[in-house]
């Protein structure tokens, strides 16, 4: 990213912090979104090794981890560039978990994971960095590790990054009563 892009990225981070402070994203905790988290959790059970380590990119307030049983993961790391959402996630005191504040553009995990989730965050990555970020995460998968990506609506320009580089294990669409509200979720391996 050039200096202007970095400036806009910084401005976006401040906007996310403001929105989390105002409760703008509380809807993520509601019933409509519930099925999305549950689908991700079911896909982890179906395709990941037993008792996996999980990295949740763009974890927001830690809802995915909150919705998982502790028996469903060995260790959970959530990361997000919003310090406000990370603080909320940390306050949940969820077992075997840690939540860290970092920018996905520059974040390099400190360990390898069995599951890496791009949880409604891939489309926020700057276009020039999407492939670099995905490559970095692919390098941080354990053997038999999987990447699960959830994207609201079509995610134009996003899915080809996964389909070009990884093997698709499953692709599903979650619909709701509102035809404009739907998510696509893909499971991939190296």
From the CB of 80, what's the least distance to ligand SAM, in Å? 4
* Of the residues 120, 122, 147, 149, which one makes contact with ligand SAM according to CB under 6 A: 120
Q: Does 114 interact with ligand SAM (rule: CB under 6 A)?
A: no
Closest CA to 132 of 106, 158, 166, 168: 106
The only residue of 41, 68, 89, 121 in contact with ligand SAM, by rule CB under 6 A? 121
| Residue pair 184/44 in contact by the 8 Å Cβ criterion | no
Residue of the chain from 103, 138, 142, 176 that contacts ligand SAM (CB under 6 A): 103
The answer to the question of residue 58 lying near ligand SAM (CB under 6 A) is yes
Judged by beta carbon, residue 57 or residue 146, the one nearer ligand SAM is 57
Rule CB under 6 A: is residue 77 a binding residue for ligand SAM?
no
Residue of 106, 99, 52 whose CA lies nearest to 80? 99
Stretch touching ligand SAM by CB under 6 A, among 67-75, 114-122, 155-163, 180-188:
114-122
Contact residues for ligand SAM, defined by CB under 6 A: 16, 28, 58-60, 63, 80-82, 85, 103-105, 119-121, 124
């Amino acid at each position: 990213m050039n200096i202007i892009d970095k400036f806009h990225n910084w401005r976006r981070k401040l906007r996310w912090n403001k929105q989390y402070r105002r409760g703008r994203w509380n809807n993520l905790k509601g019933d409509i979104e519930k099925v999305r988290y549950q689908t991700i959790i079911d896909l982890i059970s179906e395709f990941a090794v037993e008792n996996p380590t999980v990295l949740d990119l763009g974890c927001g307030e830690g809802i995915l981890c909150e919705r998982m049983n502790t028996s469903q993961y060995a260790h959970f790391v959530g990361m997000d560039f919003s310090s406000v959402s990370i603080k909320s996630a940390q306050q949940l005191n969820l077992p075997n978990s840690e939540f860290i504040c970092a920018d996905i553009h520059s974040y390099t995990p400190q360990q390898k994971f069995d599951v890496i989730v791009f949880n409604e965050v891939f489309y926020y990555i700057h276009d020039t960095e999407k492939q670099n970020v995905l490559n970095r995460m692919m390098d941080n998968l354990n053997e038999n590790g999987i990447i699960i990506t959830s994207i609201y609506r079509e995610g134009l320009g996003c899915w080809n990054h996964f389909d070009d580089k990884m093997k698709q294990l499953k692709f599903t669409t979650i619909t709701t009563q509102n035809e404009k509200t739907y998510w696509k979720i893909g499971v991939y391996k190296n």
